[in-house]
């Protein structure tokens, strides 16, 4: 739910949640015109890279990383313009974010395959990165992920509500995030995103949050929106050849409400990838 995270960012949550991980080692990833701030924790054999939701930083994963303990080497970072990461002042496309993700992996895990974990917009980025660079990914964990096709489904169901939600978000967001959000919805509304993509042959764990909000803030939190959200996830999962798809009675913050479920999914796909079998 990109809009839910956009709203939280607008309300100041990004500044709070983008704090560094406790006792983590900070590493700078140089980009053209700016630097990304990444955090690394643990020294396990499995390398896990985390992609946060829209407007969110590395700190949202702290409970998941704490649960993993010494099992993994965990890498989390803030995208350009968030937390302590710099920016060149230009709104970032999906492609630009994917290039930054690739730079983080190249810098902190050169020559290694990684388990890629993504939440919401970060889930969309994780899926697209794995689709484009399957040789660099060991397995995927998608935590209530956004999908490329979701806007088409939502607009078909209630175009006026979706457009009204967009305007509400844009009025709340700070200028830096407003530019990213505007560019993102333009991309998701394009004809290019309407067709499902072929997914790579990787172990995947897809975690879907099912809670309908008592007072829906955006369309995705209504009963109709949640039904479409679950249908999007079912279609996404159908594109993979093996893995697990589980449903949880939580809100969109699944990784914060139930961090153990996410940590367990990471362990599961890591073991499946190492064994060459199904989770």
Contact between 265 and 141 under an 8 Å Cβ cutoff? The reply is: yes
**What is the per-residue pLDDT across 143-183, written as a single tens digit (0 to 9) for each?**
999 999 999 999 999 999 999 999 999 999 998 899 999 99
Find the Cα–Cα–Cα–Cα dihedral 260, 263, 267, 273, rounded to 10°.
140
Flag whether pLDDT at 62 surpasses 90.
yes
Q: What pLDDT was estimated at residue 246? A: 98
Helix (H) or strand (E) holding 141: strand 137-143
**Mean pLDDT in residue range 88-113:** 96
Express as a percent the part of the chain with pLDDT over 70: 88
Find the Cα–Cα–Cα–Cα dihedral 145, 149, 154, 155, rounded to 10°.
150
Q: 2-274 adopts what CATH topology? A: Rossmann fold (3.40.50)
Domain spans of the chain?
2-274
Flag whether pLDDT at 92 surpasses 80.
yes
User: Which stretch of 25-29, 80-84, 124-128, 250-254 has the lowest confidence by average pLDDT?
Assistant: 25-29
Instruction: Please state whether the predicted TM-score (pTM) of the whole model is above 0.75.
Output: yes
Q: What pLDDT was estimated at residue 12? A: 42
Q: What pLDDT was estimated at residue 99? A: 98
Q: What pLDDT was estimated at residue 11? A: 43
Q: What pLDDT was estimated at residue 71? A: 84
Q: Name the average pLDDT for the chain.
A: 90
Strand order in the sheet with 25-31: 25-31, 34-41, 72-77, 46-51, 114-119, 137-143, 204-209, 243-248
Flag whether pLDDT at 136 surpasses 50.
yes
Flag whether pLDDT at 22 surpasses 80.
no
How are beta strands 114-119 and 137-143 bridged, if at all?
parallel
Q: What pLDDT was estimated at residue 175? A: 87
């Amino acid at each position: 739910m990109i809009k839910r995270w956009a709203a939280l960012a607008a309300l100041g949550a990004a500044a709070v949640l983008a704090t560094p991980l406790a006792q983590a080692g900070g590493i700078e990833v140089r980009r053209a015109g700016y630097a990304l701030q990444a955090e690394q924790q643990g020294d396990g054999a499995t390398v896990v890279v985390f992609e946060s939701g829209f407007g969110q930083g590395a700190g949202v994963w702290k409970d998941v990383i704490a649960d993993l303990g010494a099992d993994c080497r965990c890498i989390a970072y803030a995208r350009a313009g968030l937390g302590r990461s710099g920016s060149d002042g230009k709104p970032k496309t999906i492609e630009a974010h994917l290039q930054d993700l690739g730079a983080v992996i190249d810098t902190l895990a050169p020559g290694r395959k990684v388990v890629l974990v993504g939440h919401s917009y970060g889930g969309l980025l994780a899926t697209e990165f794995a689709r484009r660079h399957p040789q660099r990914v060991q397995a995927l964990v998608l935590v209530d992920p956004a999908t490329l096709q979701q806007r088409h489904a939502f607009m078909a169901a209630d175009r006026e509500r979706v457009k009204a939600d967009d305007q509400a978000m844009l009025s709340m967001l700070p200028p830096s995030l407003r530019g990213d959000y505007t560019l993102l919805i333009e991309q998701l509304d394009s004809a290019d995103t309407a067709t499902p993509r072929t997914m790579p042959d990787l172990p995947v764990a897809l975690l879907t949050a099912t809670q309908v909000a008592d007072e829906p803030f955006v369309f995705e939190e209504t009963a109709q929106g949640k039904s479409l959200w679950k249908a999007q996830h079912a279609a996404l999962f159908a594109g993979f050849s093996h893995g697990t798809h589980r449903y949880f009675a939580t809100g969109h913050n699944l990784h914060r409400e139930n961090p153990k479920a996410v940590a367990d999914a990471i362990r599961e796909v890591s073991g499946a990838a190492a064994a060459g079998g199904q989770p």
